[in-house]
Homo-oligomer: A and B are copies of this chain.
Amino acid sequence: MAKRRIRLGVSMIGLGYHLAAWRHPDAPAGGNMELPHFVRVTQAAERGLFDMAFLADGVGIRFHDEPKGALCRTSKNVQFEPLTLLSALAMVTRRVGLVATASTTYNEPYHVARKFASLDHISGGRAGWNVVTSVTDMEARNFNRDKAPGYDVRYDRAAEFVEVVRGLWESWEDDVFVRDKESGINYRPEGLHVLDHQGPHFQVKGPLNVARTPQGAPVIVQAGASDQGRELAAATADVVYAAAQTLADAQAYYRDVKGRMARYGRDPDHLKIMPGLMAVPGRTRQEAQDRYEALQQRVDPLVGLAALANYLGDLSGYDLDGPVPEPPNRRMHSRAQIFLDIARRGNLTIRQLYLSIAGGNGHRLVIGTPADIADAMEEWFHQDAADGFNILPPWLPGGLEDVVDMVVPELQRRGLFRTAYEGMTLRENLGVAPATHRRAEARKRAAMAAALGSAAQ
């Protein structure tokens, strides 16, 4: 059995995860809509032997203009659509996994199944789908609604959505296409399966009009913070992007989600839990700190307040240097509680709170030497808190290139990280379960039973 190793993903959000990323002196300020920027970022991830490069997404502007004037001070309002961008990036990379976010709230499973299957073919088996629900009213208003559906409806729909997509990915058996030019038979009819799904949210007949993909099924990624989210992850996910600030929180999450897998007959090792980690390395601790401070100093108070407003409501009526009040208009999102915990733990002012989440948006932040960062990873990795990490570079491409050039070699020296890709597909590199074809297996079992029955006669 191969040694357990840390998995790494990177979140390629525009010019970086930090609120002030676009103001970094080295940032290509228009890069969030420039292809060469993303080519460079993805190629850096591949040079660093990362398992995957990840694109977050929203189906609408991602910030309220709350307080007013904040929106025009952020760069995250425009971006490439993830599936088109990753299809392009598949052509300039060979091994790194390509994970796109697609919402289950305003999409149709047939479209989503097709597009990810297509990306998996294009990339030679490197596609992953980050399954999310759309929580903001801003997004709802782009899809014939005034408000987002409630939590239960969103998760109920999401669970059925994933079930339909996975079913559609089993439309065609792997070896169904005989393509016999002489006889004119293109495929064996018994290897085509009609899904005929009838559920509360979806009626989808199938079959999918895309052949079985190189991975069998693209990798399923989820965030899974809430109770239903955790259950969905335990049932269906190959990877979870978690958010935790402390070792204890991360361990509790890890134990809980892996513990839920048994009831679905799944091996806990087949779900990789990868908390977000903003890692800021420097040759010295001071250099690392200076790099981070250069960004912190560029956080406009309006933008800081807007980042809080996304979860806690607009706090602009309060004293920036006073305590964080009980939020007047708190959003129903797991991140809201994380923010409040941070504020209460450190007894922070509003300004201190937004500065403390300006980088990682509630994710863990480690600033230090490559050894410091490797220590931080190793601790969580060896103490049942993480199987790997979703790296959140404060700015791009530099913030990722620093991790690749400084932290990855340190992890490799410690034997914690690969020195070459193990496989061709994302599933192989992650070490998650190969995709089974339940319908093909059932058919073959039935055919074998019939053959044995007739042989026994």
Q: A residues within 8 Å of B by Cβ?
A: 22-23, 25, 27, 29-30, 33, 35, 58-62, 69, 71-75, 77-81, 83-85, 87-88, 90-92, 106-108, 110-111, 114-115, 117-119, 121-122, 138, 141-145, 172, 177, 179, 181, 184-189, 192, 202-207, 209-211, 298, 300, 303
Contacts and interface: CB of A to CB of B under 8 A. Distances in A.
Contact of A189 (B62, B71, B107, B298): B71
A61 B209 contact: yes
Contact of A209 (B22, B60, B92, B177): B60
B141 A59 contact: no
A108 B103 CA distance: 13
A368 to B, nearest CB: 27
Contacts of A59: 110-111, 114, 209
Given A59-B114, A81-B115, A81-B118, 14 more contacts: A33-B211, A61-B207, A62-B209, A71-B189, A73-B185, A81-B114, A83-B87, A83-B115, A84-B87, A87-B88, A107-B111, A108-B142, A141-B204, A145-B203
B118 A72 contact: no
Given A35-B122, A90-B88, A207-B61, A110 B143 contact: yes
A72 B209 contact: no
29 contacts: A22-B181, A23-B184, A33-B210, A60-B209, A71-B189, A71-B192, A73-B186, A77-B186, A77-B187, A77-B209, A79-B210, A80-B122, A81-B210, A84-B115, A84-B118, A84-B119, A85-B118, A87-B87, A88-B88, A88-B90, A91-B91, A91-B92, A106-B108, A108-B142, A110-B142, A138-B205, A141-B203, A142-B205, A144-B203
A202 B144 contact: yes
B179 A75 contact: yes
A138 B208 CA distance: 11
Nearest to A62: B209
Nearest to A199: B144
Counting from the closest, the 9 A-B pairs by CB-CB distance are: A141-B205, A81-B118, A87-B87, A91-B91, A29-B179, A84-B87, A84-B118, A110-B142, A78-B211
Contacts of A35: 121-122
Contact of A87 (B85, B106, B110, B211): B85
Contacts of A192: 71-72
Contacts of A187: 72, 77
Contact of A74 (B91, B122, B186): B186
A84 B91 CA distance: 11
Contacts of A298: 181, 184
Contacts of A69: 189
Contacts of A22: 179, 181, 186
A209 B111 CA distance: 20
A394 B94 CA distance: 33
Given A30-B177, A78-B209, A73 B115 contact: no
Contacts of A203: 141, 144-145
A121 B80 contact: yes
Among A23, A73, A179, which residue has the most Cβ atoms of chain B within 10 A?
A179
Nearest to A77: B209
Nearest to A303: B184
